[in-house]
Amino acid sequence: MSIFEYNGSALIAMVGKNCFAIASDRRFGVQLQTVATDFQKIYRIHDRVFLGLSGLATDAQTLYQRLVFRHKLYQLREERDMKPETFASLVSALLYEKRFGPYFCQPVIAGLGDEDKPFICTMDSIGAKELAKDFVVAGTASESLYGACEAMFKPDMEPEELFEIISQALLSSVDRDCLSGWGGHVYVVTPTEVKERILKGRMD
Amino acid sequence: MGDSQYSFSLTTFSPSGKLVQIEHALTAVGSGQTSLGIKAANGVVIATEKKLPSILVDEASVQKIQVLTPNIGVVYSGMGPDSRVLVRKSRKQAEQYHRLYKESIPVTQLVRETAAVMQEFTQSGAGRPMLGWLQTILDFNVKLKKTKLRALGNMSHKKTLLGVRPFGVSLLVAGFDDNGPQLYQVDPSGSYFSWKASAMGKNVSNAKTFLEKRYTDDMELDDAVHTAILTLKEGYMHLKLLFF
């Protein structure tokens, strides 16, 4: 049993035309038992930067708390919000600090950078950044997610279409993974608004 | 920071509420070479006179204006060696910021951290490694570790104070970042101010008067450079006149 498969999760982030979408499943389980079906894995750092954390839930929570702490101090000191690229560098640095006793998490970072350019990236548990122009995935369902995204993705999608695509990719992939599922949680972010939607999928 | 057993400050309050050491540090700054800075609409200029003690000095080896990052520079008035310590620390802080955020440090942040270093040296023995051999005899009670007590021997007749003094420099930090051109002055006390134009060192009042008359908000960088040189010349001329 891998420590990364203790809780189970599925995360996607996708780039659209001047917008991005980030989605996760809603299951919180302890190995085979499902404990909650409304567990939040995507966090809003600020209106233009979202963080999804997959992997061990306790590490995800602690890491999120540390990052929020750092970001709040940054906001106070620099009187501005962090850019998504900067935030990703911070997450990477924090993860590498624990190189020989890591957080068992795989983060997915999505945000709108300068001139509303969407930015997505993921990294492994010790901070190796992986930038992508189209989509990034993480979690126990990642293999299925890669396949679904690769098949369904097209560049420069409008927010509504992006929502449809990311939802379909998520729901079809978690059906092939016993540790993730129980619905979906999707955020579609444009320069003007953040739309949060809950998906109903196979509740198993 | 340092060895807490022996780190303490020589800067203490006077009955009137002043930190006399800082006043003296400002005097040291005031007798240093004139340096000035002017913020233009599209850049900042900092200038100082490179007055060498003799014609035998290798002019190229003297660096009065230093680079902290590719977009931030600094000039000082006061004690050169003190400024070198600060430049070194500031450069390190800028690099640490970049290592963490992969972004160049904003001017305000670097100024804030440099000022914090200067303030530390007025309040605590920050960053000074202490040698355990020397004894410190203080007027008030300090708990000494037994091992260090043994090393004291018969040093009790000597009063050896171990501590730090404030920096004897004021810095003019000029930089250009997302918020445009910026100019900051950092004093030995650790306070910092943002200026449109400022001068430090000798003849500061004349220089400032001259700058006040000449400064305009929409100055171009070339105008600012010209004005800076004129201001320095003005101070030089004034000094010459004084002696005649």
Task: Tell me the CATH number at A98.
Answer: 3.60.20.10
Q: Which of A78, A86, A89 sits opposite B109 (nearest CB)?
A: A78
Rounded to whole angstroms, how far apart are CA atoms A7 and A21?
A: 23
Computed over every residue of chain B, the mean pLDDT equals 83
What is the domain range of residue B230?
32-52+59-141+164-243
Mean of pLDDT values over A43-59: 96
Q: Which ranges of B34-188 does DSSP label H, i.e. alpha helix?
A: 80-101, 107-123, 146-150
**Sign of CA pseudo-dihedral A109, A112, A118, A119:** negative
Where are any strands of DSSP class E within chain A? Answer: 10-15, 20-25, 28-30, 33-36, 42-46, 49-55, 105-112, 118-123, 129-132, 135-139, 184-189, 194-199
8 Å CB contact between B9 and B164: yes
Q: Would the CB atoms of B103 and A77 count as touching at under 8 Å?
A: no
Q: Exposed, middle or buried by CB within 10 Å (0-12, 13-18, 19+), for B237?
A: exposed
> Closest partner residue to B100 among A77, A85, A89, by Cβ?
A89
Mean pLDDT, rounded, for A99-104: 97
Q: Report which DSSP code applies to B64.
A: S
Rg (CA), chain A: 16
For residue B109, which residues of chain A lie inside 8 Å, CB to CB?
A: 77-78
Confirm whether A104 is domain-assigned: yes
CA of B86 vs chain A CAs: smallest distance (Å): 21
State chain A's mean pLDDT as an integer.
96
Q: Name the token pair of A53.
A: 């954390």
Who among B101, B108, B112 is closest to A86 (CB)? B101
pLDDT in tens, B104-144: 999 999 999 999 999 999 988 664 444 434 444 443 444 44
Q: B109 vs A77: CB contact, 8 Å cut-off? A: yes
Tokens found for residue A93: 């640095």
Q: Residue B101 domain-assigned?
A: yes
Cα(A70)–Cα(A49) distance, integer angstroms: 14
Q: Which residue of A has its CA nearest to B110?
A: A78
Of B99, B100, B106, the CB nearest to A78: B106
pLDDT at B5: 53
Interface test mutation site (partner B, options A49, A70, A76, A78, max chain B beta carbons within 10 A): A78
Mention every residue, 6+ apart, whose C-beta is less than 8 A from residue A89: A129, B100, B101, B102, B103
Instruction: Quote the CA–CA distance of A89 and A97 in Å, as a whole number.
Output: 12
| Residues 82-111 (B) with a CB less than 8 A from some CB of A | 99-103, 106, 108-109
- Tell me the pLDDT tens digit for each residue of B185-244: 999 999 999 999 999 999 899 999 999 999 999 999 999 999 999 999 887 765 556 554
CATH number, position B90: 3.60.20.10
What average pLDDT does the segment B18-36 reach? 94
Q: Please indicate if any CB of chain B lies within 8 Å of the CB of A78.
A: yes
**Which residue bears the tokens 């650790």?**
B190
pLDDT tens profile A118-137: 999 999 999 999 999 999 99
- A169-182 mean pLDDT: 96
Annotate B162-175 with b (16+ C-beta within 10 A) or e (fewer): bbbbbbbbbbbbbb
Nearest residue in B to A95, CA atom? B100
- What is the total count of domains within chain A? 1
How many other CB atoms are there within 10 angstroms of residue B180's CB atom? 13
- A189 within 8 A of A112, measured Cβ to Cβ: yes
A10 contacts A145 by C-beta, under 8 angstroms:
yes
Q: Answer whether residue A204 is part of any domain.
A: no
Q: Please name the residue that has the structure tokens 């904003």.
A: B106
- How far apart are the C-alpha atoms of A161 and B148, rounded to whole Å? 74
Domain that holds residue A171: 3-199
Q: Does B30 touch chain A (CB under 8 A)?
A: no
**Whole-Å CA distances, A78 to A42, A68, B72:** 25, 15, 17
Residues 6+ away with beta carbon under 8 Å from B107: B72, B173, B175, B176, B177, B179, B182, B184
SS3 B9: strand
Angle between helices A57-78 and B107-123 (to 10 degrees): 90
So what's the pLDDT on residue B237? 66
Q: Is the model's pLDDT at B49 over the cut of 70?
A: yes
Chain A interface, best mutation among B98, B101, B109, B179, by max A CB count within 10 A: B101
Residue position matching structure tokens 């430049």: B87
pLDDT at site B12:
87
**What's the predicted TM-score (pTM) here?**
0.84
d(Cα B175, Cα B44) in Å, to the nearest integer?
7
Which residues, 6+ apart, have CB-to-CB distance to B78 below 8 Å?
Answer: B25, B28, B29, B32, B167, B168, B169, B170, B188, B201
Q: How far apart are CA A147 and CA B119, in angstroms?
A: 57
Range B91-96 average pLDDT: 97
Q: Degrees (nearest 5) of the Cα angle A168, A162, A156?
A: 135
* ipTM reported for the complex surpasses 0.90: no
Question: How many domains is chain B partitioned into structurally?
Answer: 1
Cβ atoms of A11 and A24 within 8 Å: the answer is yes
Could you give the angle at which helices A84-97 and B80-101 cross, rounded to 10 degrees?
100
Record: contact B100-A85, CB cut-off 8 A? no
- Which two structure tokens, joined as six digits, stand for A46? 């600020």
Q: Which of A34-43, A100-109, B5-14 has the lowest mean pLDDT?
A: B5-14
Percent of chain B residues topping a pLDDT of 70:
78
